[in-house]
Amino acid sequence: MNEYDSELVRSLLKREGFVFTEDRERADVILMNTCAIRENAHNKVYSHLADLKAIKKQRPLVVGVLGCMAQNLKEELTEHQPLVDVLAGPDAYRQLPMLLTSAIQSQEQGLDRKGLAVDLSEYETYDDVVPERNDGVNAWVAVMRGCDNFCSFCVVPYTRGRERSRDPDGIIREAQQIAAQGFKQVTLLGQNVNSYRHGSWDFARLLTAVADVSGIERVRFTSPHPKDFPTALLEAVAGHPHVCKHIHLPMQSGSDRILGLMNRSYTNREYRALVNRIRSLRSDIVLTTDIISGFCSETDAEFAETYRLTEEIRFHNAFIFKYSERKHTIAARKFPDDIAEPVKAERVTKLVDLQRRISHEHNRSYIGTTVAVLVEGSSKRSDSQSTGKTDGNITVVWDNSLIQSQPGDFVPVPILDASASTLFAHRRPQGQEILF
């Protein structure tokens, strides 16, 4: 969502005459779009700010902090970080050209006026702003913004405000333009994407309508909440040839007491039943998840329930996080963050080890098959290799000498090797396992 928001910001600034540079030494303005979801995202921003301080000592520079941290830490960032000139929360990007212009002017006059726009809106969806897209293969499209779920650990409802959905006509028009520009894939975004609702439109109808747009070969969506999976949505995923066979289904915990404290509104049994419904519709749907361990008061026995459910469900992949207390949240106000850091770390390591084994087993089952891949471009590690994703969102890497391809092509790739995270069209030398 932040990448998408940066594309919106680029578009809003370009149309007011701002020009972009990749070279930060040449920039008059440096903006950071920030995330507040966990402590480490937060720390990254402070370390970048420290870098910018050195630059700002040498020459005039306007520094802006955008996004969730701007929203959540307005006092701290303005009072204790004299370096920051402009703050703009996720609903305030339309004001950014004005804020930056006045910050530049104020600096030229030797003044130090801060520009602050952090009001949340019940309506802002940036419906009329065409994002300035980077990638040539996948286009992000936010269909809704904000979240009303108030999971007790989560800062999003405070930084991104109330849920609001975009008009489906605008979304479908945007998807048509995206297809005309040559993008092959659309990823529909929302903090709580499957609670999309606009008049008589729900998410299943929207997903199908976008997948029907001619030229769009693959549609993905992220992130859904397990509470909003009506049969029509499952059927759209299982049945529509252009909807990817991948569902990211955040589980968070396998313990009913912890799920209750987290305000997740489902039980271990209900979650498992949803997984079974998905798999009975189509056994090849790839399931991935998010898990938090070390949430307030989580006992060893409750962690063991999460471990067992992860082992039982056998997700294809899982993002596993240590609980990180966030200001303003229900958990920060009501429950002590009482699981010691080493215990959190140990639980995360146990889950990561389990998941790596399961991911590796899943991936090994592709060896000897041929998968259809949407090509993204050069692999991170070598220009002589390319990478892309399967329909189920699994990363595939191959040597260019074996398969010639351009970003945006669909190519069949025979799989000869697999790590926990990647499928390969070549056998890797022994000992390379941990590299990927």
> Nearer Cβ to ligand 5AD, position 6 or 159?
159
Residue with tokens 């770390």: 345
At a CB cut-off of 8 Å and minimum separation 6, what does 395 contact?
A: 387, 388, 389, 421, 422, 423
Structure tokens, 76: 């701290």
Q: Under rule CB under 6 A, how many of the chain's residues touch ligand 5AD?
A: 12
Work out which of 250, 254, 388, 408 binds ligand 5AD, going by CB under 6 A. Answer: 250
Which positions ≥6 away from 396 have C-beta within 8 Å? 371, 373, 387, 388, 389, 390, 413, 415, 422, 423, 424, 425
Contact call for residue 153 and ligand 5AD (CB under 6 A): yes
Stretch that binds ligand 5AD, among 58-66, 131-139, 161-169, 320-328 (CB under 6 A): 320-328
Q: How many residues lie near ligand SF4 (CB under 6 A)?
A: 10
**Cα torsion for 119, 123, 129, 130, to the nearest 10°?**
120
Radius of gyration of the chain (CA): 23
Annotate each residue in 125-164 with x if it binds ligand SF4 (CB under 6 A) or - if it does not, as one string: ----------------------x-xxx--x-xx-------
Contacting ligand SF4 within 223-252 (CB under 6 A) = 225
Site for ligand 5AD in 322-351 (CB under 6 A): 323-324, 326
Neighbouring CB atoms inside 10 A of 241's CB total 9
Closer to ligand SF4 by CB, 46 or 150: give it. Answer: 150
Name residue 41's amino acid: A
Closer residue to ligand SF4 in complex, CB, 38/360: 38
| Measured CA distances, 93 to 44, 89, 174, 372 (Å) | 22, 7, 20, 39
Task: Tell the smallest beta-carbon distance from residue 247 to ligand 5AD (Å).
Answer: 14
DSSP state for residue 46 in the 8-state scheme? H
Work out whether 227 is an interface residue with ligand 5AD (CB under 6 A).
no
Q: Applying CB under 6 A, does 271 fall inside the site for ligand 5AD?
A: no
Q: Using CB under 6 A, list all residues that contact ligand 5AD.
A: 37-38, 153-154, 250, 252, 290, 292, 321, 323-324, 326
Q: Using CB under 6 A, list all residues that contact ligand SF4.
A: 147, 149-151, 154, 156-157, 191-192, 225
